[in-house]
Amino acid sequence: MEEDRNQQARQGDRKLSPADISPFVKSLCLTYSQLAYYPETHPVTVNQMKGAWGELQKVFGMVGDLTLSIADSKILFIGQSVEEKNTAVVKFSRYFESIQVGSIKFKKSLDYEEFASFFSLFCKDPQTIKDAGGIDALVKSKKITGISFNTTVYKVITEDEKIIGKAEKVGGEAKPRKPRTKTLQPIAERIQQKLDSEFKDIHDKDRTRLVEYLNNVYVREIKKIEEKNEDLADEISEIREVIQNIEEVFDETNLGFILIDRKQKVCFVEHGHKIPFDLMLNEPLPEPLVEQLSGFKDTEPFKIDDVNIMQVTRDPRKRIKAILFQYE
C-alpha cells in the first residue's frame, strides 16, 4: 500500500500533486455528467470521453497506474482532495459512494475500449449495478482487467478528529466523544483584559456578566445559523425532488429545455440531443446557437432545423437564462 502511494506520488524526484491529475478528474466527471442527458454513443458524450482518455494518457506518463480514492463526496489523490468544489466531481463521488466503491484504479494497461466500458457498464443506476450482483461481479463477468474497484467505503478524518481521537483513548478504549461547542471565549478574554487595564473601577461581577453575555450572544447567533443551514438543506432536497419530477414528466413528451446559470454556462439539459448543436454541461452555449436565437420573437414561429423554439427567457442584461423547445 505504502509502496503504491510512493509510486504514485513521485515521477523521478518530483512529487505529484492533485493539480497534476486535476484535468483528468474534471474531464472524467464531466463525461459522467453527460450520461444524464446523452447515451454513451452520442457524439457529445464520445467527444467528452475521448478528451478524458487523452488526459488519462498524460497521467499515465507521469505516474503509471492511477488510484483515485472516494470519500465524503470527494475524490482524493494520495490523501488530498481534487477539484472538491466542482459539482461534476461531487456528483461522480456521491454516485460511486452509493454503490459502495471506496477507490478506483486505472491501470496503465487499460485500452480505450475498456475505458469506454467504464461509462457504459459502471455509470448506471445503482439498482442496475445491484441487479448485476454488485460492482465486483460486474467486473468479473465482463472480464475487465484495466480498471479495478475497492468496495470498501472510506471516511475522511480531519486533523482535529485525529488529535481528539488520540486524546480520548484511555487504556486502549475510546471514551465517548463530547460535542465541541464553538464559543466567543478567546474574544471574551481579550475584552476582559481590556476591562482590567482601562476600566479598573468596574465591579468584578459586572465584568463577569458582560463576558458571559457576549459569549451567550455568540452561541445564540451560531445556533440561528445552524438552523438556517438545516432549512436550506431541506429546501435543496425539495428542489432536487422537483427537478427529478420535471425530468420524469419531460421524458414522456416531445418537449425539451436548457437552463443556463449565472456564469452563462449550461447547467441542465433535457432532450438536448434533439438540438442540432453540441451542448456541453458546464460550458457556454455554442455561439452559433446564441446567434440564431437572437432572431427569436414570441409572436412568430421560430425553428432550428426540425426543432420549434417555443420560449427563450433572458435576464435584464438580455443574456439567455432558459430555452424551451419542441421537437418532431
Residue 228, Cβ density class (10 Å: 0-12 exposed, 13-18 middle, ≥19 buried): exposed
Taking every pair of C-alpha atoms in the chain, what is the biggest distance, in angstroms? Answer: 85
Give the per-residue pLDDT at 280: 86
Q: What is the mean pLDDT of residues 288-296?
A: 90
Find the Cα–Cα–Cα–Cα dihedral 262, 267, 268, 274, rounded to 10°: 100
Give the per-residue pLDDT at 243: 67
Give the per-residue pLDDT at 207: 64
Give the per-residue pLDDT at 8: 47
Question: Per the structure block, which three cell numbers stand in for 100?
Answer: 459502495
Q: What is the mean pLDDT of residues 294-311?
A: 86
DSSP-assigned beta bridge partners for residue 76: 69, 81
Find the Cα–Cα–Cα–Cα dihedral 28, 32, 34, 38, rounded to 10°: 130
Beta-carbon neighbour count of residue 182 at 10 Å? 8
Residue in 53, 65, 51 with CA at minimum distance from that of residue 16: 65
Q: Model's pTM, two decimal places?
A: 0.49
Give the per-residue pLDDT at 50: 94
For residue 309, pLDDT beyond 50: yes
Of the two residues 5 and 298, the one the predictor is more confident about is 298
pLDDT in tens, 95-123: 888 888 888 999 999 999 999 988 888 77
For residue 221, pLDDT beyond 50: yes
| pLDDT band per the 50, 70, 90 thresholds, residue 262 | confident
Mean per-residue pLDDT of the chain: 77
Question: Per the structure block, which three cell numbers stand in for 188?
Answer: 471574551
Contacts of residue 169, defined as CB under 8 A and 6 or more positions apart, other chains included, come to 175
Residue carrying C-alpha cell 505516474:
63
Q: Which of 3-12, 34-43, 50-59, 138-147 has the lowest mean pLDDT?
A: 3-12
Find the Cα–Cα–Cα–Cα dihedral 18, 22, 26, 27, rounded to 10°: -130
